[in-house]
């Protein structure tokens, strides 16, 4: 199981939000590339980078390109051998192409996947199933979109099943009520989503301790292949090298 340190970008800075709320922000640095180098030096095999401005519809442009896309390019330039999984505000095939060209190995479609399934099918056909990931974010089992500000009437499993039929093989699943709260990852919901859809699942939201990582590792047989850790790393509640060891298992 792979551990993905999270690097969430807002106005070019590395931040963490509690439950995705933009008014509840903590800034952890102005140099995301330096932070990325730190995580790789501590053993990270891949990185999870999110354009929060794009997800929230609050993009700031720099030289015709959003500042967070500039940060993606900087992270890739600093660590060209490290795979980057990137999402947030990706709404079109052109967006996917741009993000891949800037150095991402995988692109996450979230809101666009829920509102425009045809885009997902086109993206998989054009770029390949290994490069397209669907982000399924849910609160109380219902999918949320637009930076978690809007709630749909569809369940995570329903959306996941639709995505699998379109050729998607991988999802990032976030229990938004737990994100940034250090309240424990929702292992059961992640495993159920993977089992019910056949998607490989990367768990996100709420990792608070090495026990969370161990529980996810124990459920890997259900189809859980990774975990994203953010707040716990930034607060020091979890050590990245120890989390990686726990994810690898005995």
Tens of pLDDT, residues 114-144: 889 999 999 999 999 999 999 998 887 789 8
30 catalytically annotated = no
Position 28 confidence tier, pLDDT thresholds 50, 70, 90: confident
Query: Is residue 213 within 8 Å of residue 221, measured between CB atoms?
Result: no
pLDDT average, residue stretch 85-102: 94
Share of the chain above pLDDT 90, in %: 68
Annotated catalytic residue within 8, 95, 179, 212: 8
Asked if the model's pLDDT at residue 56 lies above 90, the reply is: no
Annotated catalytic residue within 53, 137, 175, 179: 137
CA distance 53 to 42: 28
CA distance 219 to 202: 12
Structure tokens at 58: 């609050």
CA distance 27 to 182: 17
Query: Is residue 7 within 8 Å of residue 47, measured between CB atoms?
Result: yes
Q: Where are the beta strands (DSSP E) in 162-237?
A: 170-175, 200-204, 224-229
Structure tokens at 179: 């994100």
* Nearest one of 31, 27, 36 to 7, comparing CA atoms: 36
137 catalytically annotated = yes
Amino acid 18: pLDDT? 65
Amino acid 37: pLDDT? 98
Query: Could you tell me the pTM of the whole model?
Result: 0.91
Query: Is residue 45 within 8 Å of residue 6, measured between CB atoms?
Result: no
Structure tokens at 203: 């768990």
Mean pLDDT rounded to a whole number for the chain: 89
Position 160 confidence tier, pLDDT thresholds 50, 70, 90: very high
Position 148 confidence tier, pLDDT thresholds 50, 70, 90: low
- Domains and their CATH numbers in the chain: 2-248 (3.20.20.70)
């Amino acid at each position: 199981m792979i551990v993905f340190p999270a690097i969430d970008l807002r106005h070019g800075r590395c931040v963490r939000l509690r439950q995705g709320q933009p008014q509840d922000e903590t800034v952890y640095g102005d140099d995301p590339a330096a932070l990325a180098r730190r995580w790789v030096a501590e053993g990270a095999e891949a990185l999870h980078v999110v354009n929060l401005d794009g997800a929230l519809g609050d993009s700031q442009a720099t030289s015709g390109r959003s500042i967070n896309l500039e940060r993606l390019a900087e992270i890739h330039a600093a660590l060209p051998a490290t795979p980057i999984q990137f999402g947030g505000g990706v709404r079109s095939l052109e967006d996917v192409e741009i993000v891949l060209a800037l150095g991402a190995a995988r692109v996450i479609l979230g809101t666009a996947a829920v509102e425009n399934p045809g885009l997902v099918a086109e993206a998989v056909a054009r770029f390949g199933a290994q490069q397209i990931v669907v982000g399924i974010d849910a609160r109380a089992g219902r999918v949320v979109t637009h930076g978690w500000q809007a709630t749909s009437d569809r369940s995570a499993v329903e959306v996941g099943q639709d995505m699998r039929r379109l050729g998607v093989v991988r999802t990032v699943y976030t229990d938004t009520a737990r994100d940034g709260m250090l309240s424990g990852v929702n292992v059961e919901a992640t495993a159920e989503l993977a089992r019910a859809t056949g998607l490989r699942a990367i768990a996100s939201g709420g990792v608070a301790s090495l026990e969370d990582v161990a529980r996810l590792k124990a459920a890997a047989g259900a189809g859980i292949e990774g975990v994203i850790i953010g707040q716990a790393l930034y607060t020091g509640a979890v050590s990245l090298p120890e989390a990686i060891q726990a994810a690898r298992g005995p």
